[in-house]
Structure 1
């Protein structure tokens, strides 16, 4: 591992360059994304005036683009490699891959149930998904509504947070009335 814990635009650029020039996934610092998040967070906290602020904003944009490119390159390599060196995967990349495995399992489950004539299972699965609860934050006031689970929810005021059935939440999100609450700090 050539990367130290210190990250700046040059070290990030070098990491992305090395990753693009190599067909296999490279070993990088296990705390790379966390160190990168600290670097970006510290940049965002700095306050400048005029040209210096524009330079800071441009630097943040460059770091964001390089970070996005690095993640896409590494995930693409991971998905195309059969002889993957798993120890080179960062925890955050394992998190991404875990969701892809879940997706593959779900596709197999739906395919199997469909070709084996298990319509009741598919119906149960669909209903379960519609009524699965998710957390949303309201961007506008909303009157009381009846959920996909036939329970009553609301009324809600702007900035209220509620747990409601997935189908109802998706409808409100699509209308820009609410937004999904993500688990972030």
Structure 2
């Protein structure tokens, strides 16, 4: 997409409309989601008062809903397609599909280990998952904890970021004491 053909709300609407009206996956500019992200991000940065602010907020809401619809429609087409044109997949969609393949592989691994009596393998998987480290940002002060890996972590202050075992992180997240740090954070 050239500089003269930037994404705006009309272009986004037209793209979603074309995608929903056609049964096959449409070819879209490889930078579509990045350009769309720039459009929405720039819109959010603009400051207006009164009616102009309401219009901006409505445009952001429309762009958000259209983006969600586009992603869902394209992923639905991809999942149902027998003769998928792989070249039409955008990198972001490939990223989503990769996680689905990983999920299917994991299901097969658990099923196979279970029906083939490999309880030690399942125990090992379970322990590795509990102690796998993830990054969290603390939303509350937390005293020192003993991790699932039996190591000591903390104490932590609000806004501290730490890498702790998954099981401990999940417990803290459930209590709203921490939040998972994602790539975009």
TM tier, shorter chain?
A: over 0.9
Distance in 1 of aligned mates of 2:44 and 2:7: 15
Distance in 2 of aligned mates of 1:151 and 1:23: 54
Deviation of the 1:55 alpha carbon = 0.6
Instruction: Structure 2: give runs of 5+ residues left out of the alignment.
Output: none
Q: Paired residues, what number?
A: 183
Deviation of the 1:165 alpha carbon = 0.1
Equivalence for 1:137: 137
- Kept in 2: contact 1:5–1:35 (CA 8 A): no
Distance in 2 of aligned mates of 1:162 and 1:117: 37
Deviation of the 1:45 alpha carbon = 1.0
TM-score (norm 2): 0.96
Equivalence for 1:94: 94
Deviation of the 1:184 alpha carbon = 1.6
Deviation of the 1:23 alpha carbon = 1.2
Distance in 1 of aligned mates of 2:98 and 2:35: 22
- Kept in 2: contact 1:5–1:31 (CA 8 A): no
Instruction: Structure 1: give runs of 5+ residues left out of the alignment.
Output: none
Is 1:123 aligned to 2:123, yes or no? yes
Distance in 1 of aligned mates of 2:5 and 2:101: 31
Q: RMSD of aligned C-alpha atoms?
A: 1.2
Aligned counterparts, 1:1-185, within 5 A? 5-184=5-184
Distance in 1 of aligned mates of 2:129 and 2:76: 29
Deviation of the 1:5 alpha carbon = 4.2
